[in-house]
Amino acid sequence: MCGIVGCVGHGDDTLDVLLDGLETLEYRGYDSAGVALVGDSLIVKKREGRLERLREAIETSDRPGGTLGIGHTRWSTHGPPTDANAHPHTDESGRVAVVHNGIIENYQPLRDKLEADGVTFTSDTDTEVVPHLIAAFLQDGLDPEAAFRRALDRIEGSYAIAAVVAGDDRIYAARNDSPLVVGVGDGRFYLGSDVPAFLEHTRDVVFLDDGDLVVVDADGWQVTDADGAPAEKEVTTVTWSAEQTGKSGYDHYMLKEIHEQPTALRQGLSGRLDELAGTVSVEELSGIEAPGAVQLVACGTSYHAALYGVELFRQAGIPAQAFLASEYATGPAPVLEDGIVVGVTQSGETADTLSALREAQARGIETLAVTNGVGSTAARECDHALFIRSGPEIGVAATKTFSSQLIALNLLVETLAPGDRGDTRTLVSALRDLPGDIQEVLDETAAETVVEENAGRDAFFFIGRGENFPVALEGALKFKEITYEHAEGFAAGELKHGPLALVTDRTPVFAVVTGNDERARKTIGNVKEVEARDAPVVAVTDGASDVERYADHVLSIPETHPRTAPVLANVQLQLVAYHMANQLGREIDKPRNLAKSVTVE
């Protein structure tokens, strides 16, 4: 959580580079923001609230000058969002400024000791111990790099930290369990907790590892490991463009990203389908043997993708279970023999998912990350990584990455447990057609009308069975996350075991019914149950069954393979959530209390 940016080598535009970088990172946290610039002196500006408030504060005061600086956008963990708790934090003399993502677990004893030594703290944050420690070591005569390293030796926890010192022309930064990347430009260098922070300036990136310390100045960057030994690092050129991280004319990133799904899926499938042979071939998966069993670990939307993955593995005859990552590593470890643990995580940085994967690795189990985060912690720590290739997703609500995860899981299952030749050929052809099918949904959706006619109701329920059960859960999560309305997803058959008590004429029920098999027919039975209680019914369907007869509204999807139908149904529900949130005037790209990358457990 939280965003860090830094730059060296710019002139008068240093402040703008930092503020623009923070704007691209605001999805990581947005309850306060701040910058520190080093010129003749060290100047810090910070404000509670959105970045806009910081910009306004800067406009109405002296514009800080300087040729290097760091910035931060915060998602609070220690202390409420206030000006004082906003980063950067400084020592008492204002000589050292620090920004930090993560949590310093031993901050309280460090703070007690510093206070006993006479240091006065001005914030409630865990971070503030760091500038005071650096200042104390500078006071002892250490140079800034040594003082920074000594401060890191004292702290425990997860962090990406960057520090600047007045009168010094370098940025010092380090990572442990929280992402940090270096951008390499021509005589200009950058730091970011994520690549979009500096994508406008360079696509050449160095991904840091845990324990790395980097020093950046106008001459370049040097990385050392935790012991201070030089660390070899590769410069990777990312294929994302700055344009891809802008809104491209859409009102919100979320809407843009919903509309990017045809492209995202084409990217995810490119070079992985052999349409002539009707087979799937994924280079990254070539080293994995067919497992005896699979456990999938994930959070939130990615957990819904994992549930869909379970269904696919079971259909392929491989026993599979999905676990909420936050539950996986905290109790007795679930038994797994001759199996693989798959972490589904778009960011590759979710702390709960990383913990679960590490728990599996500690037990000697092979691990695979299904992720969008090339260079992410999950991708680097797992034995294997399958990249979903969605491109950057800025809106906090995951949309295109969810669809890409579903597709990647299909590729994974077909690779590890290839089905009957004819079945695979049919699936390959459905996957090939899927981007076009999504476009058809986007072009013809009736989601806006459905929203207009169902606004102002008491609650919104979503039901589905089999591979459509995760779609029901995801439909409800997206809806509640961005509309702040009460929404719940259920396995259709579970309704009558309790939730039916909530169903009235003021609770629309979205029923996902695709195909016309036994599951579809049973779900239609559940639709009749809610219809009998006068609930407005919205059927999301491919028209294969007669569910439309019992529905007040229909959101249609093209006919497709049973495995790709959930992707199309979900696009309709993404649009429903988006249009309802838009109608209610919500902050769609930055829902309250949430952040894009959840790097705390």
Catalytic residue annotation:
2, 596
Residue closer to ligand F6R by CB (options 68, 254) is 254
Binding segment for ligand F6R (CB under 6 A), chosen from 118-126, 128-136, 177-185, 339-347, is 339-347
Binding segment for ligand F6R (CB under 6 A), chosen from 115-123, 163-171, 204-212, 293-301, is 293-301
Q: Centre a 10 Å sphere on the Cβ of residue 488 and count the other Cβ atoms it contains.
A: 18
Work out whether 483 is an interface residue with ligand F6R (CB under 6 A): no
Decide: 407 and 388 in contact? Cβ < 8 Å: yes
Residue closer to ligand F6R by CB (options 481, 542) is 481
Binding segment for ligand F6R (CB under 6 A), chosen from 89-97, 187-195, 300-308, 432-440, is 300-308
Residue closer to ligand F6R by CB (options 170, 478) is 478
Work out whether 346 is an interface residue with ligand F6R (CB under 6 A): yes
Q: Centre a 10 Å sphere on the Cβ of residue 219 and count the other Cβ atoms it contains.
A: 12
Question: What are the beta bridge partners of residue 98?
Answer: 89, 163
Residue closer to ligand F6R by CB (options 171, 398) is 398
Residue closer to ligand F6R by CB (options 301, 454) is 301
What is the sign, positive or negative, of the torsion defined by CA atoms of 223, 227, 232, 236?
Answer: negative
Q: Determine which helix (DSSP H) or strand (DSSP E) holds 299, and give its type and residue range.
A: none
Binding segment for ligand F6R (CB under 6 A), chosen from 158-166, 275-283, 345-353, 514-522, is 345-353
Work out whether 302 is an interface residue with ligand F6R (CB under 6 A): yes
Cβ at position 150, least distance to ligand F6R in Å: 34
Residue nearest ligand F6R, CB atom distance = 300
Binding segment for ligand F6R (CB under 6 A), chosen from 63-71, 226-234, 342-350, 383-391, is 342-350
Cβ at position 481, least distance to ligand F6R in Å: 5
Give the residue from 156, 18, 198 showing the smallest Cα distance to 97.
Answer: 18
Quickly list DSSP for 83-144: TTTSSPEE-TTS-EEEEEEEEETTHHHHHHHHHHTTPPP-SS-STTHHHHHHHHHHHTT--H
Residue closer to ligand F6R by CB (options 92, 601) is 601
Decide: 2 and 74 in contact? Cβ < 8 Å: yes
Please give the structure tokens belonging to residue 45. 């500006």
Decide: 346 and 303 in contact? Cβ < 8 Å: no
Cβ at position 488, least distance to ligand F6R in Å: 15
Work out whether 223 is an interface residue with ligand F6R (CB under 6 A): no
Work out whether 410 is an interface residue with ligand F6R (CB under 6 A): no
Cβ at position 121, least distance to ligand F6R in Å: 32
Work out whether 353 is an interface residue with ligand F6R (CB under 6 A): yes
Binding to ligand F6R in span 569-598, by CB under 6 A: 598
Contacts of 239 (CB under 8 A, 6+ apart): 203
Measured in degrees and rounded to the nearest 5, phi and psi for residue 230 equal: -55, 135
Please give the structure tokens belonging to residue 509. 């029920």
Question: What are the beta bridge partners of residue 378?
Answer: none
Which residue in the block uniquely carries the two structure tokens 């009749």?
Answer: 528
Give the residue from 119, 53, 112 showing the smallest Cα distance to 82.
Answer: 53
Work out whether 386 is an interface residue with ligand F6R (CB under 6 A): no
Beta strands in 382-480 (DSSP E): 384-387, 460-464
Binding segment for ligand F6R (CB under 6 A), chosen from 21-29, 190-198, 216-224, 295-303, is 295-303
Q: Centre a 10 Å sphere on the Cβ of residue 224 and count the other Cβ atoms it contains.
A: 17
Work out whether 481 is an interface residue with ligand F6R (CB under 6 A): yes
Work out whether 403 is an interface residue with ligand F6R (CB under 6 A): no
Size of the site for ligand F6R (CB under 6 A): 13
Contacts of 180 (CB under 8 A, 6+ apart): 4, 160, 162, 173, 174, 191, 192, 193, 208, 212, 214
Cβ at position 44, least distance to ligand F6R in Å: 31
Residue closer to ligand F6R by CB (options 376, 545) is 376
Work out whether 397 is an interface residue with ligand F6R (CB under 6 A): yes
Decide: 540 and 532 in contact? Cβ < 8 Å: no
Residue closer to ligand F6R by CB (options 273, 354) is 354
**Residue 56 per-residue DSSP state:** H
436 to 475: interface string for ligand F6R, x by CB under 6 A? ----------------------------------------
Member of 114, 299, 318, 513 binding ligand F6R (CB under 6 A): 299
Residue closer to ligand F6R by CB (options 76, 301) is 301
Binding segment for ligand F6R (CB under 6 A), chosen from 61-69, 203-211, 212-220, 298-306, is 298-306
Member of 350, 415, 507, 582 binding ligand F6R (CB under 6 A): 350
Decide: 485 and 520 in contact? Cβ < 8 Å: no
Which residue in the block uniquely carries the two structure tokens 């923001």?
Answer: 33
Q: 3-class secondary structure for 470-495?
A: HHHHHHHHHHHHHHCCCEEEEEHHHH
Work out whether 267 is an interface residue with ligand F6R (CB under 6 A): no
- Given the rule CB under 6 A, which residues bind ligand F6R? 299-302, 345-347, 350, 353, 397-398, 481, 598
